[in-house]
């Protein structure tokens, strides 16, 4: 799973360097697919329940599952979530980050920072013996303390030989509740955070989820293994330090 995770991380880091006004989300998608194949892996989202892309690209008020398109060009001031997963040798990795396009408003900068920090707060609770609700509550508390809301309709998940395995991992909950985390479990933890209310709706393309109130949304995700000594983030290099994205 670490090997799969490194392909996910490598593709996302490369895509991050491609971000500029004028690039289309389709160009990012094509890059991700090529990078994945060069590394002997398979894009996990493509064809999943009929999903047409390799990456999910969600801009501004789009929450998750935006479909890459040649007609959709990034503009200065946008925020772009890139969500990507691969399968390598039968194992999956899944990660996401949200990036600014050129200069963005301080409000958008804050949304990206708070959402990334909420992922860090959740990851910090991943340790054998803790409970799933400890992770969920840590994410929710950080988000709400900063005046934002967490999306309820989409959740994190177990991951392994399938992209989505039990248990579901909501971004809201109560400390001490839910199943105990055990060594060897692997979770994809993925806060989706709105600056307005928590509500979302899905567009007529049947994939793109947007905020009901038109507020901005951000999304960060890592695939994380539970160990005795705490979290092992599989979707970044072992030697990495500092912020998780």
The Cα angle at residue 100 between residues 98 and 103, in degrees rounded to 5? 165
Question: Rounded CA gap, 74 and 80, in Å?
Answer: 8
Nearer of residues 148 and 154 to ligand MF3, judged by Cβ: 154
The verdict on 51 binding ligand MF3 (CB under 6 A) reads yes
Q: Is 87 in the site for Co ion (CB under 5 A)?
A: no
Binding site partner of 29, from ligand MF3, Co ion, none, Cβ cut-off 5-8 A by kind: none
Two structure tokens written together for 93: 């990795």
Q: Interface with Co ion includes 29 (CB under 5 A)?
A: no
Contacting residues for 17 by C-beta, under 8 A, at least 6 apart: none
d(CA 2, CA 22): 34
Note whether 188 binds Co ion by CB under 5 A. Answer: yes
Least separation in angstroms between CB 49 and ligand MF3: 6
Stretch that binds ligand MF3, among 48-56, 72-80, 140-148, 210-218 (CB under 6 A): 48-56
Residue 121 · residue 142 · CB < 8 Å: yes
Residue corresponding to tokens 């008020």 = 61
CB under 6 A: which stretch of 45-53, 125-133, 178-186, 233-241 binds ligand MF3? Answer: 45-53
Edge-to-edge strands, sheet with 200-202: 62-64, 209-211, 200-202
Interface with Co ion includes 192 (CB under 5 A)? no
Given Co ion, ligand MF3, none, residue 51, with its beta carbon under 5 to 8 Å by kind, binds ligand MF3
The contact set with ligand MF3 (CB under 6 A) reads 45, 48-49, 51, 56, 65, 83, 85, 94, 188, 221
């Amino acid at each position: 799973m670490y090997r799969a995770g490194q392909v996910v991380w490598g593709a996302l880091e490369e895509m991050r360097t491609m971000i500029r006004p004028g690039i289309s989300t389709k160009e990012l998608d094509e890059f991700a697919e090529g990078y994945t194949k060069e590394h002997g892996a398979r894009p996990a989202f493509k064809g999943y329940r009929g999903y047409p892309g390799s990456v999910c690209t969600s801009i501004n008020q789009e929450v998750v599952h935006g479909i890459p398109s040649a007609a959709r060009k990034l503009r200065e001031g946008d925020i772009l979530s890139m969500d990507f997963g691969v399968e390598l040798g039968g194992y999956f990795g899944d990660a996401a980050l949200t990036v600014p396009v050129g200069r963005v408003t301080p409000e958008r900068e804050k949304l990206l920072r708070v959402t990334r920090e909420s992922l860090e707060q959740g990851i910090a609770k991943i340790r054998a013996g803790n409970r799933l609700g400890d992770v969920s509550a840590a994410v929710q508390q950080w988000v709400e303390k900063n005046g934002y809301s967490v999306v309820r309709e989409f959740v994190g998940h177990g991951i392994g030989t399938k992209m989505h395995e039990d248990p579901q991992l909501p971004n809201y909950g109560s400390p001490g509740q839910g199943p105990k985390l055990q060594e060897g479990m692997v979770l994809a933890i993925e806060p989706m955070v709105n600056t307005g209310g928590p509500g979302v709706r899905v567009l007529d393309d049947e994939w793109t989820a947007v905020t009901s109130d038109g507020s901005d949304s951000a999304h960060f995700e890592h695939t994380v293994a539970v160990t005795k000594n705490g979290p092992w983030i599989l979707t970044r290099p072992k030697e990495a330090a500092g912020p998780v994205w």
